[in-house]
Structure 1
């Protein structure tokens, strides 16, 4: 893949790239409607592919929060047309990398030495590149290391980039402005944290230690002396990313071991730590042939407020779901319905959310769940698509749902998607969850 020798860092430079891309997208729409006049049976497939290509090319060269937003949208199957999710998914670990001179410059600025002065060997060609940074392989004193380097200008462009990408996201995702405002406020706060490599290093060490007891998980050791505000050095973990791993045709037993480890990892964090690795995309995991799972990149961590946690998991309790008074109280606490809603509004929105909750909590209500059940996922994706096109939600003057639910829902949705891709059969019942709550 061709390397980048520079990244636009000024607001003017980055804005001009968005304007140029907006013009291309507008031209694509004109082409589509022209084709439609000639042939009324023309679908939007070609339009989506053209737009996805143009938008991704711009975002992948800008890097940073703009590309991260695309990465997040790619995980929400059912929210975007397939062309966008396929293209945007490349941002998880296949974005164009930075050139060697920029990498060396980052070391000299933040650690005061070149990579060759710090390590026995250092590969200037990136092993993989994502939205916020890229990873290089190095060795020191017989150890193989992974060195993550943050792209220039990322931390300073978060707010301005999100303002620029918002119109694209609203158009292709079909979300209302009030929903998008709340969504982007939460994204902004998380992205600002993700660009703080001192915070990420601290969380990586802390959460790895807390989760080390969970069977079949492997975490790297981190090296603060070889890290800075834009560099994190850790052990190099063996293994394959999900797509490559599945191409090896692993046995069902191995799939189940990895799936169980994933489920246990997230349940322990959620129920015992009240903070969770909230970026469950395939680029952050490495699968090993014996069923062990390597986990790294704790840049995006969602801390769960106690009141939100209590009410969120009340909705997995069958007794609460059967009691309309208690259920409505929880809905209000989670901001799904509001005090000034009419009874008609309450019935309408409560009904919508209840069906979604029923779907999402099916794995929690069974002792074992087969995440290879495509019929279940298709029903869920169809319902999410139905909600995304619902006029009442698009035109709602108030956001529906606590801002805290955005990353928690995203975490579970990402987890479910990983488990579905693995076709994993997992122990999911309340007894296993209870074990993590008591630890």
Structure 2
């Protein structure tokens, strides 16, 4: 058995063992109930043990499991506080490290993608990876630039060389198939969370994320749109192949560290810049950065926010849909009937479903509270409150949500917006979000 199938088999075994552990803990819970221990204590105990085991295993994996864990990491702020600690610790590991591929495999991949003379393109190349992603690892190197004139000494620039793991595509598909078996476990950890749509969307994005040449085109479009920007920095693509991507090196503070160690001012500013990227990119680049977990962002010494991964994007050539801004504005103004008419027209409410307009407004109003004031502070407690309101079967909001539909064209926008809000709540950031949205979201600002 070669290394790749052996590692895949090991991943599958670890993932397959998780439901067995969960079943054992559930049986233990039934036993405790029989001797009279309070059910809420049992539930918390099972939740915490399940979370610790699940994210400990995910933290050891590459491929689909690691990418799935990264996608979930932005929702850490919605977890009950007693479980957020082990959850946060395990998922931070997902964002920063994974076992490296053997050096021989690395060199073989570089030769296949860049040619047998690949070493001649670099003045230096560090075989020890500087970082790991879900489907590849990143190396620091010095790239040789063409000499400005004949016989001149070639200049070099520091670059990040992202190299895809051999067999990454097969590993992703195998891991995602196994992870679909764990939906019940995630419901125990976070009741109301529907994992299957997230897994389905991840499957759809695999082909794009595996194609580094496509990612190079996307990153170039972002870099052109934000060239010279005083707030957002996108490193330029130096060279690319199907499974190797070479970009400018970015030296900065990882957003995860800002979340855990940053001052109030640093966290507020990071949140402001994250919101600016989210709302301005569709207008400026026709693209939405669709992977807003903290591992993809750095704060630069000059105060700019650097974005370092463009494998997942939503293509919005006309910018954010005007309807979103218009309906938020109408909801803030209390125009219940107009809001329902707009939702029905776009397919959020099915034609034959009867809904109470004021109930819809009551459902939406807490979600858009950040835009009702000049400055808003996102907090973990606010997000947990919203998660409880929207996912508790006893909640009127939960009952109404079952009558609402999410059109496919809005699925990516919806997920990315939720993910971005999750990061803002991890930062506990306060900023003038209303002004940012007024500037960049079509339809939100009142017509003059």
Question: Shorter-chain TM-score: which interval?
Answer: 0.7 to 0.9
Aligned to 1:30: 27
Over the residues paired in the alignment, what is the CA RMSD in angstroms?
3.8
Confirm whether residue 381 of structure 1 aligns to residue 378 of structure 2.
no
1:200 CA drift (Å):
0.7
Structure number with greater Rg is 2
Q: Which residue of 2 aligns with 1:69?
A: 68
Distance 1:427 1:212, change over 3 A: farther
Question: CA 1:314–1:154 in structure 2 vs 1: closer, same or farther (change >3 Å)?
Answer: farther
Residues 1:264 and 2:276 aligned together? yes
Count how many residue pairs are aligned between Structure 1 and Structure 2: 422
Question: What residue ranges of structure 2 are gaps of 5+ in the alignment?
Answer: 145-155, 444-448
* Structure 1 position 188, deviation (Å): 1.9
Q: TM-score, normalised by structure 1?
A: 0.81
Instruction: State the distance in 1 between where 2:274 and 2:407 align.
Output: 26
Contact 1:6 / 1:102 at 8 angstroms: preserved in 2? Answer: no
Aligned pair partner of 1:95 in 95, 98, 112: 98
Range 32-41 or range 214-223, more displaced: 32-41
Give the deviation of 1:399 after TM superposition. 7.7
Question: Does residue 155 of structure 1 match 2:160?
Answer: no
Q: Is the 8 A contact 2:375 2:431 kept in 1?
A: yes
Contact 2:370-2:434 within 8 A present in 1 as well: yes
Deviations 1:384-427 (A, max 9, x none): 23423327969999883223434323322333343344454423
1:201-227 deviation digits (Å, cap 9, x = unpaired)? 100011121123532222212112xx2
Q: Summarize the alignment of residues 284-323 of structure 1 with structure 2, pairs less than 5 Å apart.
A: 284-304=296-316, 309-318=321-330, 322-323=334-335
For the pair 1:369 / 2:380, whether they are aligned, the reply is: no
The residue aligned with 1:40 is 37
Which has the higher mean CA deviation after the structures are superposed, 201-210 or 408-417? 408-417
In structure 2, distance between residues paired with 1:178 and 1:279: 19
Question: C-alpha displacement at 1:39, in angstroms?
Answer: 6.4
1:396–1:309 Cα change, 3 Å:
closer
Task: Answer whether contact 1:220 1:234 (CA < 8 A) is retained.
Answer: yes
Q: TM-score, length-normalised on structure 2?
A: 0.79
1:221 to 209, 229, 236: 236
CA contact (8 A) 2:332 2:365 kept: no
Alpha-carbon distance change, 195 to 139 in structure 1, aligned in 2, over 3 angstroms: same
Distance 1:102 1:27 in 2: 40
Instruction: Describe the SS at the equivalent of 1:297.
Output: coil
CA distance in 2, matches of 1:30, 1:277: 43
Q: Is the 8 A contact 1:6 1:98 kept in 2?
A: no
State the distance in 1 between where 2:335 and 2:99 align.
53
Matches within 5 A, 1:114-133: 116-133=119-136
2:256 matched to 1:243? Answer: yes
Gaps of 5+ in 1: none
Q: Which residue of 1 aligns with 2:114?
A: 111
2:428 equivalent to 1:419: no
In structure 2, relative to structure 1, the CA distance for the partners of 1:416 and 1:397 (3 Å cut) is closer
